[in-house]
Amino acid sequence: MGDQGVVTAAAIIIGNEILSGRTRDANLPYIAERLAGWGIQLMEARVVPDIEDEIVGAVNALRAKFDYVLTSGGIGPTHDDITAASIAKAFDVPLDRHDEAVRRLQRHYERPEDLTEARLRMANVPRGGVLIDNPVSAAPGFQVENVFVLAGVPRIMQAMIDGLQGRMAGGRQMHAVSITCALPESILAPGLGEIQSDHPDVSIGSYPHFAAARSASRFGVSIVLRGLETTDVEAAADKVRDLMRSLGGTPEDRDLSTDKKAADHA
């Protein structure tokens, strides 16, 4: 845990298919939202290919830097599923067949002949790893120290991360406020810079957009304020609303989930 009780994390999305443009990643937004809800700040994300050295390098760089690392992808039964072996290499431990993982697969595949050698690969866990439940298709993820290894299929990844609640120690919740108005952001820039200087512990982000659906204006901007101290964030937010009004704008508080949907279609 770092300064001021902030808990940090990084995500590693493993998979050639994201980098080739073939598949659009759906896991990073889910991970980001879940962690934020638990008071854990996602500080970096990396997308790496199905190459052992790349996975090992990313895991070792990020597990040393942040409180938690979550990986997604590469734990299935096929030859290109190399995450478990890569994590074992990153921690310099052997990759064992995990008894309890085998039992879970045995229960899932009722007929013994269905539990093929390929499927048994999904019970390979780096020594010392603790299983992560997979309520969808049995084959578990696992945790080694501060690294949590999850599936890549979104439905399974989501079920796995939901089950992790309480296994990662959350930190203090960030208080966040989002305010939008139909002004170009450059008009707000000098005033925003002053508010930022007066509130150094509040992170103030400015996100311009075009052609907001509910507005006749071509331009608009969302100002997002985040910080650990609610009173500090709200004081800065009041100044942002005053700034918008002084420039002829009409500040609207925006629900962050609504805001996100709007951004999806930007």
Chain residues that interact with its own copies, rule: CB under 8 A: 15-26, 28-29, 32-33, 35-36, 41-50, 54, 76-81, 116-119, 121, 153-155, 176, 178, 185-190, 192-193, 196, 203-210, 224, 226, 256, 259-260, 263-264, 266
Q: What residues have CB less than 8 Å from 20, skipping those under 6 apart? A: none
* Closest CB to its own copies among residues 1, 118: 118
Residue 145 Cβ vs its own copies, minimum distance, rounded to whole Å: 22
**Residue 116: CB minimum distance to its own copies, A:** 6
Tell me the HSE value of 57 on the side-chain side, using a 13 A CA sphere. 9
Least separation in angstroms between residue 183's CB and its own copies is 12
Of the pair 83, 178, the CB lying nearest its own copies is at: 178
Q: What's the number of CA atoms in the CB half-sphere (13 Å) around residue 70?
A: 30
Give the HSE-up count for residue 24: Cα atoms under 13 Å, Cβ half-sphere: 2
- What b/e string do you get for 49-75 counting C-beta neighbours within 10 Å, with b at 16 or more? ebeeeebbebbbbbbeebbbbbbbbbb
Q: How far apart are CA 162 and CA 58, in angstroms?
A: 24
Q: Report the run of H or E that residue 155 belongs to, with start and end.
A: helix 154-163
Least distance in angstroms from the C-beta of 109 to its own copies: 9
- Our CB check for its own copies shows the closer of 48 and 233 to be 48
- Side-chain-side CA neighbours of 135 within 13 Å: the count stands at 8
In the complex, the smallest distance separating the C-beta of residue 260 from its own copies, rounded to whole angstroms, is 6
How many CA atoms lie less than 13 Å away from 146 in the CB half-sphere? 18
Instruction: Give the CA dihedral 87, 89, 94, 97, nearest 10 degrees.
Output: 40
Q: What are the two backbone dihedrals, phi and then psi, of residue 31, each rounded to the nearest 5 degrees? A: -60, -45
- Judged by CB, which is closer to its own copies: 127, or 135? 135
CB of 20 to its own copies, least distance (A): 6
Nearest residue (CB) to its own copies, 87 versus 224: 224
CB of 62 to its own copies, least distance (A): 10
Closer to its own copies by Cβ: residue 93 or 120: 120
Question: Between 101 and 204, whose beta carbon lies closer to its own copies?
Answer: 204
